[in-house]
Structure 1
Amino acid sequence: MTRPIKLSDVAKAAGVSQGTASNVFNRPQIVRPEVRERVEAAARALGYAGPDPKGRLLRAGKVNAIGIVTSDPLTYFFDDPYARVLMSGIAAACAEQGAGLSLVSAVNEEKLAWNIQSAIVDGFILLCIEDGFRLVELTRERKLPFVALQYENRDPSISAIGVDDFDGARRIAEHLGALGHRRVAIISLQLAEIQVGPVALADVEKAVYSGTRDRILGYLRGMESFGVDPHTVPIVETRNDSETVSAALDHVFSLSEPPTAILAMSDRAALIALDWLRAKGLKVPEDVSVVGFDGVPEAERSDPPLTTIAQPIERMGREAVAMILEHDDAPRQVMLDTELVIRGSTAPPRG
């Protein structure tokens, strides 16, 4: 097997020092034109494409790029409404600073570890909606700055940005309670990595993902303030996709007392619910009220417009970029406010 052509081979073929050959590729303006032409001709003859940019960047000690990490497939960055808004904020902040982006994603742990280790970046933004602990542990090994978004563990040694999931969920549930709803169902994100379907209240306390747990407990606290027994509220775990959200809706509307309101744990799930209800001939909000959680642009444009808890998603992205590019070794935890946005998808129940 032929070995790779090195810069030293080009220098030898051109009859110059390795330093002069390096200058031809990196600082050509200081090399005499006839020498530069001789080195370039030797490089073409040998098939040498130029020095490895990775080595040059690593020697410089800073590459002016940020890695964005998720354990989901790469398509998550483009398919999920929350991820799209977040990436918009990150990209805008990077563009203002002249920094680049590297998307790091793999559902296989071994591949994800390799991608994190090999990424040429100055630091990482971790999307810790799921598998946050694993992302943090894999990233620690790089010994580069990182910021965890929506991280489940309040570890003071980790820079993190998030929102109060419990408080946001409580407020939107209280909105439904104030309208008169007493029969509600929760369409949940995952509590653990592999399960979906109906879950008992006891399962909530054992949730692997604390963000999901906190939202459920917030919903239940909000409804409890209107006299609703938490044990009577159906909770169905989904993967936040059309198949599992639709199955969850099939389940709750087959109950002897179907809900008059749906507490969807993401705007994406709520938008799927709007389509499902429309297909079943149920009107929103006349027959069923629906609420979401996130505040993505699609929620404002839906039919009807979606009542939701709006997170400052784009601001999260901007804050995360600033933390990486202005890193000073001091961990920072930032808790941002959410906003209850009331739109046309909620109304008092019939009768």
Structure 2
Amino acid sequence: MASLVTGNPRPVRLADIAKAAGVSHGTASNVFSRPEIVREEVRERVKAMAEAMGYAGPDPKGRLLRAGKVNAIGVATTEPLSYFFDDPFARVMMAGISEACDATGAGIALVSAGNDEKLAWNIQSALVDGFILFCIEGGPRLVELTRERKLPFVALELGVEDDTISTIRIDNAAGARMAARHLAELGHRRYAVLTLPFVDDSSGLVSPDRFGTAIYTATRNRLAGYFDELSRFGVDTAKVPVYETGNDAATTRAGLETIFAMGEPPTAILAMSDRMAMVAIEWLTERGMKVPGDVSIVGFDGVPDGALCDPPLTTVAQPIIEIGRRAARMILDFDGAVRRETLDVELIVRASSGPPPAGS
């Protein structure tokens, strides 16, 4: 087999792989472009032959080198493609990215997939000059796959500390302290926390021994910020129910059901996203509880939808559009340097927060 690699002066082609594996050229092509339609045993045989012969698959980098920059940015996530359209935070972020791309005539390619194999292929085949990574879940895997492309990338809220990666983030702990201080100064002493994921594909009550173990820095730092501030006001944070959600309606509602079945209910909820906070308002209203008369709620993100819900949402606002703009500029103006930026947040007080009920 080695002679196929060392004894042939020309590069190994897909046709060579097909012949050596005993399949048609079309089948070999599908192994790399549409693997889901090829039987597993055939797929593995072709891949093994390709590896033995030194063929890594169709390489879009070669086309990019011949054509120069394609003037497009890939925006990648492990979430389903619908995330870019359904999630209020993602929609605002995309507005900022689009604004920066419009200014230069650059295009945008949305990259996501329902499984790891398709995600790898989509990142490898995307015709882009670099990537913005939405590291909500699966951040390390996104980074690993993107590094293989050897293209510039910037990570938004990367779940691990790595000084070699360009990132744009906010001071999550400071924002969380603002939210907790606001509620504590209103007089609240009974709290519950709805969190972003600690790890991928997980939800449920979080025991105190896990509070510092979240792999995602946003979750870890927001929870630490909440509890640091609440402790200053004499709140026993070990008794505060903490429910890990998937930042979606189903797990948020499950969390509220659990929290309000535990005995003495909270008078204040700290939600790590506006999306969760708005679901909580809806859930409480459906059950005849008043916001903020019975329960105050503070969200996190500052998405436009929060100002329109009933009641309007108190929230810690990120400069979401500016984050999107800066991320896009990092790719469009890439100069080889690693850039790490932390942006400020602000507390926007609206009608979803107020004093606790009398006697609580």
With normalisation by structure 1, the TM-score equals 0.83
- Give 1:309's aligned residue: 316
- Give 2:172's aligned residue: 165
- Give 1:93's aligned residue: 100
- Counterpart secondary structure, 1:160: strand
Residues 200 and 56 (structure 1 numbering): CA distance in 2 closer, same or farther, change over 3 Å? closer
Matches within 5 A, 1:171-182: 171-182=178-189
Contact 2:196–2:247 (Cα < 8 Å) also in 1 = yes
CA–CA distance in structure 1, aligned partners of residues 283 and 129 of structure 2 = 44
Q: 1:132 aligns with which of 139, 152, 155?
A: 139
Contact 1:295–1:311 (Cα < 8 Å) also in 2 = yes
- Counterpart secondary structure, 1:277: helix
Letter in 1 for 2:219: T
- Counterpart secondary structure, 1:162: strand
CA–CA distance in structure 1, aligned partners of residues 278 and 325 of structure 2 = 26
Q: 1:225 aligns with which of 206, 221, 232?
A: 232
Pick which of 104-113 and 305-314 moved more. Answer: 104-113
- Give 1:195's aligned residue: 202
**Cα deviation code 1:146-184 (max 9, x no counterpart):** 011111333221111000111111110011000000001
- Counterpart secondary structure, 2:270: strand
Contact 2:192–2:266 (Cα < 8 Å) also in 1 = yes
Q: 2:336 aligns with which of 318, 326, 329?
A: 329
Letter in 1 for 2:264: E
| Residue 297 of structure 2 is aligned to residue 290 of structure 1 | yes
Tell which structure's C-alpha radius of gyration is larger.
1
- Give 1:275's aligned residue: 282
- Give 1:63's aligned residue: 70
Contact 2:160–2:215 (Cα < 8 Å) also in 1 = no
| Residue 245 of structure 2 is aligned to residue 238 of structure 1 | yes
- Counterpart secondary structure, 2:179: helix
Letter in 2 for 1:259: P
Residues 254 and 2 (structure 1 numbering): CA distance in 2 closer, same or farther, change over 3 Å? closer
CA–CA distance in structure 2, aligned partners of residues 341 and 90 of structure 1 = 24
- Counterpart secondary structure, 2:79: coil
- Give 1:47's aligned residue: none
With normalisation by structure 2, the TM-score equals 0.81
Letter in 2 for 1:73: P
CA–CA distance in structure 2, aligned partners of residues 57 and 215 of structure 1 = 41
- Give 2:354's aligned residue: 347
Matches within 5 A, 1:36-47: none
Q: 2:119 aligns with which of 100, 109, 112?
A: 112
CA–CA distance in structure 2, aligned partners of residues 2 and 169 of structure 1 = 56
In the TM superposition, residue 55 of structure 1 has moved relative to its aligned partner by: 7.5
**Cα deviation code 1:289-322 (max 9, x no counterpart):** 0110000000011111100000011111100111
Residues 59 and 238 (structure 1 numbering): CA distance in 2 closer, same or farther, change over 3 Å? same
CA–CA distance in structure 1, aligned partners of residues 25 and 120 of structure 2 = 30
- Counterpart secondary structure, 1:205: coil
Structure 1 runs of 4+ with >4 Å offset:
53-58
- Give 2:46's aligned residue: none
CA–CA distance in structure 2, aligned partners of residues 131 and 167 of structure 1 = 25
- Give 2:9's aligned residue: none
In the TM superposition, residue 107 of structure 1 has moved relative to its aligned partner by: 3.4
CA–CA distance in structure 1, aligned partners of residues 61 and 167 of structure 2 = 29
CA–CA distance in structure 1, aligned partners of residues 125 and 292 of structure 2 = 50
Pick which of 316-325 and 105-114 moved more. Answer: 105-114
**Cα deviation code 1:183-229 (max 9, x no counterpart):** 01001111011321111111121222221111111111111111001
Contact 1:174–1:225 (Cα < 8 Å) also in 2 = no
- Give 1:103's aligned residue: 110
Letter in 2 for 1:296: V
Q: 2:150 aligns with which of 132, 143, 148?
A: 143
Unpaired runs of 5+ residues, structure 2, are: 1-23, 27-59
CA–CA distance in structure 1, aligned partners of residues 98 and 114 of structure 2 = 23
Contact 2:157–2:217 (Cα < 8 Å) also in 1 = no
Letter in 2 for 1:95: D
- Give 1:257's aligned residue: 264
CA–CA distance in structure 1, aligned partners of residues 344 and 61 of structure 2 = 40
- Counterpart secondary structure, 1:141: helix
CA–CA distance in structure 2, aligned partners of residues 208 and 149 of structure 1 = 15
In the TM superposition, residue 145 of structure 1 has moved relative to its aligned partner by: 0.5
CA–CA distance in structure 2, aligned partners of residues 337 and 324 of structure 1 = 22
- Counterpart secondary structure, 2:109: strand
In the TM superposition, residue 344 of structure 1 has moved relative to its aligned partner by: 0.5
CA–CA distance in structure 2, aligned partners of residues 341 and 2 of structure 1 = 60
- Counterpart secondary structure, 1:271: helix
Letter in 2 for 1:108: N
